[in-house]
Amino acid sequence: MIRFVFVLLFLSATMCPSFALGLCVKGNKANLREGPGSRFAISWTVQQHMPLEEVKRQGSWIQVKDVDGAKHWVYRTLVTSSGQCLVVKTRIANLRQGPGTKYPLAKLKNAGRYFAFKKLDSENGWYKIDTGGLGVAWVSEKLVWRAFRVQKIGF
């Protein structure tokens, strides 16, 4: 009976999966568009390391969701699924020298909404981030959003 349940779960997972792929903008910036093509209007220009969640693909274009849940289209060569990235989702996020509020503010003291970073590490609910020319800092996971690669299993 147990073997039957495992086989059933395996078949369900392999035959009915849906993926949400976390992507990161890999160039200095990327134009997000209202439709799958360069003839469509630019809906948002985002900076490097902006996380986006893949919704679907159409040719060389990927429909993505942003931190606010809005959908856009991006050309596939402007994003990567390798690496980690995150974006400030609150009005402002204090950046610390270590993973916690007991640490002093980092060289780059804070970052505003939609400021994107490369994620280097994580510890106790904090992310270690690359702030560019100002070194590394730590930010609370409660203040940022990142797109995850997840698999949803349908039955």
Average pLDDT, the chain: 87
In eight-state DSSP terms, residue 133 is G
CATH of range 19-80; options 3.40.50.620, 2.60.40.1180, 2.30.30.40, 3.40.50.2300? 2.30.30.40
**Taking a C-beta distance cutoff of 8 angstroms, is the pair 41, 73 a contact?**
no
- Using one digit for the tens of pLDDT, what is the confidence trace for 109-145? 999 999 999 999 999 999 999 998 889 999 999 999 9
The predicted model gives 88-97 an average pLDDT of: 98
Residues whose CB is less than 8 angstroms from the CB of residue 82 and which lie 6 or more positions away in sequence, other chains included: none
Q: How far apart are CA 119 and CA 99, in angstroms?
A: 13
* The CATH homologous superfamily of the domain defined by 85-145: SH3 Domains (2.30.30.40)
Residues whose CB is less than 8 angstroms from the CB of residue 142 and which lie 6 or more positions away in sequence, other chains included: 125
DSSP 3-state of 146:
coil
